[in-house]
Amino acid sequence: DAGVIQSPRHEVTEMGQEVTLRCKPISGHDYLFWYRQTMMRGLELLIYFNNNVPIDDSGMPEDRFSAKMPNASFSTLKIQPSEPRDSAVYFCASSFVLAGGLAYNEQFFGPGTRLTVL
């Protein structure tokens, strides 16, 4: 398997523009996570999905952020409108459930998307 795939790897945009980040999880994984990493705030869990259903979006910073998972092999994180403080590296990770239903198993991270909002 190619691992978790994210696109684009780098995105530079201007304030007010819409940004869409894409993620393809590892085939067969039940869980998909979106994280944001900055120097100031570290690694933050934004939202996660189980079997394409959003389970916890309490980490989404505000209404400008939205995430979807229309099928098991694709997810998007959208920021509209974008602001300079959204500049960060956004990671997507996927995972599977062990017997016993452990909620969080080993997470496989994608390479990340470095977003710069000018």
For residue 43, give the DSSP letter.
Answer: E
77 by DSSP, 3-state: which? strand
Cβ closest to another protein, residue 82 vs residue 94: 94
Residues 76-105 that bind another protein (CB under 8 A): 91, 102-105
Residues comprising the chain, all counted: 118
Cα distance between residue 118 and residue 91, in whole Å: 20
- How many residues touch another protein under the rule CB under 8 A: the total is 21
Binding map of another protein across residues 24-53, x = CB under 8 A, - = no contact: -----------x------xxxx--x-----
For residue 26, give the DSSP letter.
Answer: P
Query: Which residues make up the interface to another protein (CB under 8 A)?
Result: 35, 42-45, 48, 55-56, 58, 91, 102-112
